[in-house]
Structure 1
Amino acid sequence: MVYILACLAIGLPLVSAVAFPGAVGFGSVATGGSTPFIVTNLADSGTGTLRDAVSASGRNITFAVSGYIVLSSALSLSSSTTINGQTAPSPGIGVMGREISASGKSNIVVRNLRIRQGNLDPDTGKSAFNMGKATNVILDHCSIAYGVFDSIDAVGAVNVTVSNSIIALPIGQQFGAHLETGPATWYRNLWVSAHNRQPLTKANTQYVNNVVYNYQAAYTVANTGGLFSHDLIGNYFIAGPSTTSPSDDWFQMNENQKAFASGNLLDSNRDGVLNGAAANSIGSAVVLASPWNSASTGLATLTAAQAFTSVLANAGAAPRDQVDASVVASVQSLGRSGAIITNQASTGLSNDGYGTL
């Protein structure tokens, strides 16, 4: 009932079912695909590959193989596509070396996929996942690392959810995510070691139970002239070795913004102990007495401290690989390790920093 009332309040279409059991937020309206397609090999192209699978709309994609797919060019998705990375045998499925693009597409569902762009991509203007001008998109339990332009580029995107995901170690611009238009939901994500944009959001936004570690600027609006509303509930910000100003947890929140901020914590002392204090001061934004979207309260089932425990245990693609294990370990140091990087090889992990599946 809360979801229905929220949809009516903001003009969203009502749907009889969400993208998958447990899907939340604005992107949960994504219908994905229904025609079965099984990925049977890890080649970049050809019959039975992921590129073959996403070349036609309406497909529901599962995996009979595990490992990395090394892309030689951007992977362009078709509309009405579901990618079920959780169906891959252990240790799971990932793509590396180029961008995945859902630009201009609609009804995209991506689950349990490792997306690792890195400097194998010669195009420094590409992002790890691009959903610019897309409609109805949900990324859930994905692991995105080594984004070159942004980890996630969503300029002009409508009805987006990014949930239960790890968004870490961007190189190049060192930015987490850039979303405009919206509305958008960022839910129970782990953001690690980015310079800025965690996310940059020029949209009406739900930002609930996220954990942000080793940031230079975290939740950002960038002094935009746009008039947007923000529900900021139960998030935990933790300073790390690269954090120059812990108070930039809410960054460039000007008087054009309206924000409801409740239950957020900031651990600024880098002492290896989780001991944050209240962090609900939101710059010069207009303070809302209640959430702008009534569904936000229903999403915020965890305190910030509970979110820290839950997100570190559950975010990202399962089972965790070398990259995600290293990222989570840096967060668990609570201020004592972690770095903002320019090249994935500097992590010292195998496979030139990409890790091995």
Structure 2
Amino acid sequence: MYQLKRVVISLVALGLPSVSALAFPGAVGFGSIATGGTTPFVVTSLADSGTGTFRDAVSESGRNITFAVSGYIVLESPVSLSSDITINGQTAPSPGIGVMGREVSASSKTNIIIRGLRMRQGSLETDDGKSAFNMGDASNIILDHCSVAYGVFDSVDAVGAVNVTVSNSIIALPIGQQFGAHLETGPATWYANLWVSAHNRQPLTKANTQYINNVVYNYQAGYTVANTGGVFSHDIINNYFITGPSTTSPSDDYFQIDDNQSAFASGNLLDSNKDGVLNGVAANTIGSAIILSKPWASTSLSIATLTAAEAYASVIANVGASPRDEVDTFIVSTVESLGKVGSIITNQDSTGLSNNGYGTL
């Protein structure tokens, strides 16, 4: 299970900014410098607001938040996080903790650590310009072992974000625009995530980026830049792209990447035959990007400890909040069909899951 204690090491040798500690043991990438909060606060209520609620917990900076309750928190309005907080969703009693219905926002905030939290926006959202998780103009943010589903505008919106890591997380089944994630500015690290059934943006990244050991399933467009003016570098290592029923062009695993971009691509695989067997072939041609002979980021090769095939097995076994709930079990089982099932949806209810598609937590 996740450890809450922080370890003190030097990050200079890793090519990251010099700080005294990782966000948590095993944290990787540019968001691992997030310091979070230290003042204990326990969430004791599933209510939307009031004493002891999640909204109350995140209303002041400096807090290290744990949970004495489990289940869904139904948000009646968007919730804004404060800077310098740690959200330890993994501390909730089984079956875990989640928020549903409205946006969770870290916009313009800094030093936030979020682990083991389910964020499920869905059709209860009344503003189609909101995303499941928004960290626009934020800095030093890490999401780890989270589950983001049913995003409306984007699943993860990170325009203007600096020093971001999203790791070991599920980003799946967006509705509305049907987009995975949109990140600009950076640098950013996407590590060992499971991306499922999005039209595009898995992610869209207008930033210097590490993209390592991810699994992308049933995409219409996968790793995307879509910017003919921006000049960025991309380390794309040991990822697995797997087509599904909604995939119209397997070659859109990399999408709208032009010669303004530079890419180091190694060990990536594409399984395009939808035959129910994991049997991908090499997929290291990144549009018309300039080919780099070595990674642009000094830590990329040390992070990429798994081959694409090993990453698939590890992601299937470990990704997302623990224990897996009804929604994440459905998502993972869809991927395990290896091309046989899956669809890009417009409403979570079409999944057929309980609680109008949100699942029972």
TM-score with structure 2 setting the length: 0.97
Q: Deviations over 1:55-96 (max 9, x none)?
A: 000000000000000000001000001000000000000000
In the other structure, the counterpart of 2:6 is none
Instruction: Give the CA deviation at 1:6.
Output: 4.7
Which residue of 343, 348, 354 corresponds with 2:347? 343
Q: Is the 8 A contact 1:202 1:224 kept in 2?
A: no
Match of 1:108, SS state, is strand
CA distance in 1: counterparts of 2:12 and 2:213, whole angstroms:
22
Shift of 1:45: 0.2
Is the contact made by 1:241 and 1:335 (CA closer than 8 Å) also made in structure 2? Answer: yes
Q: 1:195 to 1:18 in 2, by over 3 A?
A: same
Partners of 2:239 and 2:287 in 1: how far apart?
16
The amino acid that maps onto 1:300 is A
Kindly indicate whether residue 203 of structure 2 is the aligned counterpart of residue 195 of structure 1: no
Task: Please say if residues 97 and 116 of structure 1, whose CA atoms lie closer than 8 Å, have aligned partners that are also in contact.
Answer: yes
Aligned mate of 2:241, from 232, 237, 243: 237
- Given candidates 283, 287, 291, the residue that maps to 1:283 is 287
Matching residue of 1:262: 266
- Deviation of 1:283 after TM superposition, in Å, equals 1.0
Q: Give the secondary structure class of the aligned counterpart of 1:346.
A: helix
User: Which residue of structure 1 aligns with residue 12 of structure 2?
Assistant: 4
Distance change (3 Å), C-alpha of 1:189 and 1:196: same
Q: In the aligned structure 1, how far is the partner of 2:14 from the partner of 2:169?
A: 24
2:48 is the counterpart of 1:58: no
- Please name the residue that 2:190 is paired with: 186
CA contact (8 A) 2:10 2:20 kept: no
**Alpha-carbon contact 1:6-1:293 (below 8 Å) kept:** no
Q: Distance in 2 between matches of 1:275 and 1:3?
A: 38
* Counterpart secondary structure, 1:253: coil
Identity among equivalent pairs (%): 78
**Alignment partner, residue 95 of structure 1:** 99
In the TM superposition, what is the alpha-carbon distance from 1:248 to its structure 2 partner? 0.5
- Listed as ranges, the matches of 1:10-49 within 5 Å are 13-49=17-53
On the 8 A contact 1:200/1:222 being kept in 2, the answer is: yes
CA distance in 2, matches of 1:2, 1:103: 29
> In structure 2, what is the Cα distance between the partners aligned to 1:243 and 1:223?
23
> Which whole-Å CA distance do the structure 1 matches of 2:353 and 2:243 have between them?
24
Give per-residue Cα distances to partners, 1:181-240, cap 9 Å, x unaligned.
Answer: 000000000000000000000000000000000000000000331110000000000000
Q: In 2, distance between residues paired with 1:257 and 1:107?
A: 29
Q: Which amino acid counterpart does residue 36 of structure 1 have in structure 2?
A: P
Q: Which amino acid aligns with 1:66?
A: S
Aligned partner of 2:220 among 188, 207, 216: 216
**Structure 1 partner of 2:5:** none
- SS of 1:195's equivalent in the other structure is coil
Cα distance in 2 for residues equivalent to 1:214 and 1:13: 36
Between the aligned partners of 2:228 and 2:100, the Cα distance in structure 1 is: 33
SS of residue matched to 2:295: coil
**1:13 Cα deviation from its structure 2 partner:** 2.9
Deviation by residue 1:168-187 (Cα, 9 ceiling, x = unmatched): 00000000000000000000
The residue identity in structure 1 corresponding to 2:256 is Q
Name the CA distance, whole Å, in 2 between partners of 1:37 and 1:234.
39
2:308 to 286, 298, 304: 304
Matched residues in 2 for 1:111 and 1:32: separation? 11
C-alpha displacement at 1:16, in angstroms? 1.4
Runs of 4+ residues over 3 Å off in structure 1: none
1:102 aligned partner, one-letter code? A
Report if the CA contact (8 A) 1:209-1:236 is conserved: yes
- Residue 127 of structure 1 corresponds to 131
Consecutive unaligned residues of structure 2, counting only runs of 5 or more, are: 1-8
Please tell me whether the aligned partners of residues 2 and 295 of structure 1 are also in contact (alpha carbons under 8 angstroms).
no
Give the deviation of 1:294 after TM superposition.
1.4
Matched, 1:172 2:186: no
In the alignment of these two chains, the number of paired residues is 353
What's the secondary structure of 1:55's corresponding residue?
A: coil
Per-residue deviation, residues 12-63 of structure 1 (Å, max 9, x unmatched): 5301110011111000000000000000010000000000000000000000
TM-score after normalising by structure 1: 0.98
Kept in 1, the 8 Å contact 2:158–2:183? The answer is yes
In the TM superposition, residue 252 of structure 1 has moved relative to its aligned partner by: 0.8
- Which of 105, 110, 118 in structure 2 is aligned with 1:106? 110
Inter-partner Cα distance in structure 1 for 2:293 and 2:82? 42
Structure 2: which amino acid aligns with 1:299?
Answer: I
**Cα RMSD over matched residues?**
1.0
What is the match of residue 162 of structure 1?
166
2 CA distance for matches of 1:61 and 1:219?
33
- Could you tell me how far 1:3 is from its partner in structure 2? 4.6
Find the residue that maps to 1:181 and give its secondary structure. Answer: strand
Structure 2 partner of 1:328:
332
d(CA) in 1 for partners of 2:11, 2:286: 26
Distance 1:291 1:108 in 2: 27
